[in-house]
């Protein structure tokens, strides 16, 4: 089967997704197929590594775990059965503190933190489609990094289940997290190699 054999107007489930053996990386958002960008740029990789290392060092001795793409995050609505899950995403970075959500195939349920690093051509998907599914799933913090503009925006889930944006962070600002008390990172550290 080739990617071109799929009907992009059809709605698919994780059961379908799990059977596919394509070279291209895909995500399902509300049952619809989204192709992912080719291999991330060097800049994207450096940003991802800087954040992952900082979070990983912070998490030593703590119960949460950090994962980087490709790592399947299944966001079930009502049932955790493969044929009922219609959203499977691969965030650039995610932090999971409820380790019962982890299995050999990735994470089933909302990570506590999801980090997406924007790439040319994927901004609409990240900013609209993923925002909606992350909010609906109950992701506590959704971090969006814009490499070319060197900016950082954090959405935090409020007690009504809605994302509230931080102010736009730029060089010289400090990133903190309610999910990771005591964690901080200078925004300059995110972009220092770029």
| CATH number of residue 105's parent domain | 3.90.1570.10
Which pLDDT value is given to residue 5?
Answer: 85
Across 116-120, average pLDDT? 86
Query: Taking 80 as the threshold, does the pLDDT of residue 126 lie above it?
Result: no
Structural domain contains residue 176: yes
* CA distances to 45, 63, 100, 183 from 177, in Å: 22, 16, 22, 6
Structural domain contains residue 3: no
pLDDT tens per residue across span 139-186: 999 999 999 899 999 999 999 999 999 999 999 999 999 999 999 999
Across 63-73, average pLDDT? 96
- Share above pLDDT 90 across residues of the chain, in percent, rounded to a whole number: 74
Structural domain contains residue 186: yes
| Domains: count for the chain | 1
Structural domain contains residue 51: yes
Which pLDDT value is given to residue 154?
Answer: 97
Structural domain contains residue 14: no
Q: Which domain holds residue 88?
A: 40-191
Across 93-117, average pLDDT? 97
Query: Taking 80 as the threshold, does the pLDDT of residue 191 lie above it?
Result: yes
Residue 79: how many CB atoms within 10 A of its CB? 9
Give the confidence band of 123 by pLDDT, cuts at 50, 70, 90. Answer: low
Q: Across all residues in the chain, what is the average pLDDT?
A: 91
Structural domain contains residue 162: yes
Which pLDDT value is given to residue 15?
Answer: 93
What would the DSSP string read from start to end of the chain? --GGGS-TTS---HHHHHH---SS-EEEETTEEEEPPSS--HHHHHHHHHHHHHHHHHHTTSS-EEEESS--EE--SS--SGGG---EE--SEEEE--GGGEETTEEES--SEEEEE--TT-HHIIIIIIHHHHHHHT-SEEEEEETTTTEEEEEEE-TTS-EEE-PPB-TT-EEE-SSSTT-EEEHHHHHTT-
Half-sphere exposure of 65 (CA within 13 A, CB side): 12
Across 107-131, average pLDDT? 85
Query: Taking 70 as the threshold, does the pLDDT of residue 118 lie above it?
Result: yes
Structural domain contains residue 88: yes
Which pLDDT value is given to residue 49?
Answer: 95
Q: What is the pTM of this model?
A: 0.92
Give the CA diameter of the chain: 49
In angstroms, the CA 29 to CA 18 distance is 14
Structural domain contains residue 85: yes
pLDDT tens per residue across span 14-43: 999 988 888 788 889 999 988 876 667 888
């Amino acid at each position: 089967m080739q990617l071109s054999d799929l009907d992009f107007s059809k709605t698919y489930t994780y059961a379908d997704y799990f059977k596919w053996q394509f070279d291209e990386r895909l995500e399902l958002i509300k049952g619809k197929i989204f192709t992912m960008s080719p291999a991330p740029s060097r800049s994207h990789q450096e940003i991802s590594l800087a954040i992952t290392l900082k979070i990983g060092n912070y998490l030593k001795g703590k119960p949460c775990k950090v994962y980087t793409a490709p790592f399947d995050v299944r966001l079930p609505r009502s049932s955790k059965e493969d044929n009922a899950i219609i959203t499977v995403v691969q965030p650039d970075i995610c932090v999971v503190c409820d380790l019962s959500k982890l299995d050999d195939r990735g994470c089933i349920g909302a990570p506590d933190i999801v980090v997406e690093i924007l790439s040319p051509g994927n901004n609409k998907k990240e900013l609209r489609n993923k925002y909606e599914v992350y909010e609906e799933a109950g992701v506590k913090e959704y971090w969006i990094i814009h490499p070319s503009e060197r900016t950082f925006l954090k959405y935090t889930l409020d007690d009504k289940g809605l994302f509230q944006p931080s102010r736009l962070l730029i060089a010289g600002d400090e990133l903190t997290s309610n999910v990771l008390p005591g964690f901080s990172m200078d925004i300059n550290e995110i972009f220092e190699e770029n």
